[in-house]
């Protein structure tokens, strides 16, 4: 990205979402001065479908940006704060010189035999990253992301799923002034662009890596020749006694993404929750199919692990880029983080700002986060996913 990139963020809370949209837009535009944004993102929480749609439209209209995307959310993030379960609007605005921005709206075409996704822009050779916001009720995000490495020729994707609604049809998405109740929206960014995609899965390994020796779909029967549940108990037993009770609640399974790596660190695992344990069969069931021969390891998710992992991911980026400045970042934080995990909903955004030494950080609490792990796009839960922009 050429010099001169400018990024601003704004947060406004209150029952009057139109007024909140106006205040958040004004704050986000302030660092840009008279420069028109090339890209803006808007997130709205705490309102019904109609009020949220109106706030998205109001923000989009007053921003004057060349491209605007956004969605409804359980909570919004900007100005060093996270606000959950209350009416509010967060806005992120960026001037990105020499960057091409192509917006899209993805629709699902269903036939008796297949599902087709329509609306994705053709991949250009100089495309760098995509940002996608999806409705979890109507868009097959897991399948789309699973095939994205091949269909998009390795284009990294980051983003999240609209949150805050327990009923289908209540989410709202916006792209370039038009509100949608279904599908997905986003942008593809290309050209002279320096970005960094980060995924903090918030877990620490316990026990040892093991091979899946018996499995049926998402149910794992044996690990390294022993009942999977017994192996889980052995992994928990390696913890200090005072941590073992809480570990049962925070136990996750990490599935290695790259089986050919000589060594596996925590960032090489795709974290999946354990949905069920059968004491009769000794099996465990996770959130997706795990094939025989896969390498897995039990992981522990708690506030300490989540804090430490995010700090390490952010500090590793800062070490890698040295003194190179950053202009801002988009943050997609799981709606299971925030106050559900930390003393404050501000935890993740403050960590990003402090560790990277930037302002201009905004986003939302998502019902699922999207970001690459070991070079392949994945759908996550429980993560903090960051798209950091260089200057």
* Tens-place pLDDT, residues 137-159: 999 999 999 999 999 999 999 99
Domain closes at, from 279, 301, 323:
301
Q: Is residue 12 within 8 Å of residue 89, measured between CB atoms?
A: yes
Contact (Cβ atoms closer than 8 angstroms) between residue 160 and residue 368: yes
**CA separation for the pair 276, 286 (Å, rounded):** 7
Are 293 and 311 members of one domain? no
Query: Of 114-123, 250-259, 340-349, which gets the smallest average pLDDT?
Result: 250-259
CA atoms of 258 and 44, how far apart (whole Å): 37
Tell me the HSE value of 198 on the side-chain side, using a 13 A CA sphere. 28
Residues 82-141: pLDDT tens digits?
999 999 999 999 999 999 999 999 999 987 778 899 999 999 999 999 999 999 999 999
Is the sign of the CA dihedral 283, 287, 289, 294 positive or negative?
negative
Structural domain of 107: 6-200+306-390
Q: Do 273 and 292 fall into the same domain?
A: yes
pLDDT of residue 287: 83
Domain assignment present for residue 243? The answer is yes
For residues 152 and 264, the model is more confident at: 152
Tens digits of residue pLDDT in 273-306: 899 999 999 999 998 899 999 999 999 988 998 9
| Strand runs labelled E in 49-145 | 68-73, 75-78, 81-84, 88-95, 99-110, 115-118, 127-134
C-alpha separations of 185 from 69, 127, 129, 231 in Å: 7, 17, 14, 42
The share of the chain scoring above pLDDT 70, in percent, equals 97
Q: Given a cut of 60, is residue 221 above it in pLDDT?
A: yes
Same domain, residue pair 66 and 164: yes
Establish if 222 belongs to a structural domain: yes
Q: H-type helices in 257-372, by residue range?
A: 303-321, 347-356
Predicted local distance difference test score (pLDDT) of residue 261: 64
Span 367-390, average pLDDT: 94
Helix (H) or strand (E) holding 302: none
Q: What pLDDT sits at residue 26? A: 98
Same domain for 56 and 144? yes
Domain annotation covers residue 33? yes
Domain count, the chain: 2
Q: Domain boundary residue among 301, 333, 362?
A: 301
What is the domain-level CATH number for residue 227?
2.40.30
Within this chain, do residues 42 and 125 fall inside the same structural domain, yes or no?
A: yes
Compute how many other C-beta atoms are within 10 angstroms of the C-beta atom of residue 257: 18
Q: In this structure, are 223 and 129 located in the same domain?
A: no
pLDDT at residue 288 in the model: 86
Side-chain-side CA neighbours of 173 within 13 Å: the count stands at 27
Same domain, residue pair 343 and 210: no
204 DSSP β-pair partners: 300
Higher pLDDT among residues 94 and 240, named by residue? 94
Tell me, what's the pLDDT at 1?
Answer: 41
Mean pLDDT score of the chain: 93
In the predicted structure, residue 372 carries a pLDDT above the cut 60? yes
Whether residue 260 has pLDDT greater than 70: no
DSSP 339: G
In the prediction, which pLDDT does 2 show? 41
The more confidently predicted of residues 165 and 297 is 297
Cβ 337 vs Cβ 384: under 8 Å: yes
pTM (two decimals): 0.91
Report, as an integer, the average pLDDT of 207-216: 95
1 part of a folded domain: no
Helices (H), 37-140: 49-63
Q: Are 125 and 38 in a shared domain?
A: yes
Q: Are 68 and 133 in a shared domain? A: yes
CA 355, CA 318: separation in Å to the nearest integer? 8
Specify the pLDDT at position 266. 62
Q: Which of 268, 301, 334 is the last residue in one of the domains? A: 301
The continuous run of DSSP H or E covering 383 comes out as none
**Neighbouring-strand partners of residue 40:** 68, 93
88-95 and 6-13 beta bridge pairing: antiparallel
3 has pLDDT over 60: no
In this structure, are 144 and 240 located in the same domain? no
Q: What is the percent of the chain where pLDDT is above 90?
A: 83
Terminal Cα distance for the chain, rounded = 6
- Which pairs from 150-156 meet CB under 8 Å and 24+ separation? 151/120, 152/120, 152/123, 153/123, 154/375, 155/123, 155/127, 155/129, 155/130, 155/188, 156/128, 156/129, 156/130, 156/197, 156/371, 156/372, 156/377
Strands 157-161 and 127-134: parallel
132, part of any domain:
yes
**Whether residue 96 is found in the same domain as residue 151:** yes
Are 266 and 381 within one domain?
no
Tokens describing residue 175: 């792209």
Whether residue 361 lies inside any domain: the answer is yes
- Count of residues making up the chain: 391
């Amino acid at each position: 990205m050429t010099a001169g990139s400018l990024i601003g963020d704004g947060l406004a809370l209150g029952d009057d979402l139109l007024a909140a949209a106006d205040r958040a837009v004004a704050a986000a535009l302030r660092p840009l001065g008279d420069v028109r944004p090339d890209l803006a993102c808007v997130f709205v929480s705490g309102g019904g479908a109609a009020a949220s749609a109106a706030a998205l439209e109001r923000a989009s209209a007053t921003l004057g940006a060349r491209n605007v995307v956004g969605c409804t959310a359980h909570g919004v993030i900007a100005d060093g704060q996270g606000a959950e379960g209350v009416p509010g609007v967060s806005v992120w605005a960026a001037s990105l010189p020499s960057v091409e921005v192509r917006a899209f709206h993805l629709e699902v075409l269903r036939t008796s035999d297949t599902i087709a996704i329509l609306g994705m822009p053709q991949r250009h050779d100089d495309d760098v990253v995509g940002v996608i916001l999806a409705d979890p009720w109507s868009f097959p995000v897991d399948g789309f992301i699973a095939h994205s490495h091949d269909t998009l020729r390795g284009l990294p994707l980051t983003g999240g799923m609209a949150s805050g609604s327990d009923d289908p049809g209540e989410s709202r998405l916006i792209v370039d002034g038009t509100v949608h109740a279904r599908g997905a929206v986003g942008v593809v960014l290309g050209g002279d662009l320096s970005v960094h995609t980060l995924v903090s899965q918030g877990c620490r390994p316990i026990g040892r890596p093991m091979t899946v020796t018996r499995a049926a779909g998402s149910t794992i029967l044996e690990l390294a020749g022993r009942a999977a549940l017994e192996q889980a108990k052995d992994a928990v037993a390696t913890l200090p006694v005072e941590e073992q009770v809480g570990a049962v609640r925070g136990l996750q399974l990490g599935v290695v993404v790259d089986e050919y790596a000589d060594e596996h660190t925590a960032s090489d695992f795709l974290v999946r929750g354990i949905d069920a344990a059968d004491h009769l069969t000794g099996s465990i069931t996770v959130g997706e199919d795990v094939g025989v021969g896969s390498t897995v390891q039990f992981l522990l998710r708690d506030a300490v692990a989540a804090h430490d992992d995010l700090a390490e991911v952010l500090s590793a980026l800062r070490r890698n880029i040295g003194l190179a400045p950053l202009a801002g970042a988009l943050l997609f934080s799981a709606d299971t983080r925030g106050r559900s995990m930390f003393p404050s909903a501000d935890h993740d955004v403050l960590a990003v700002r402090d560790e990277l030494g930037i302002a201009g950080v905004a986003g939302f609490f998502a019902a699922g986060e999207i970001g690459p792990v070991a070079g392949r796009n994945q759908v996550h839960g429980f993560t903090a996913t960051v798209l950091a922009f260089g200057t």
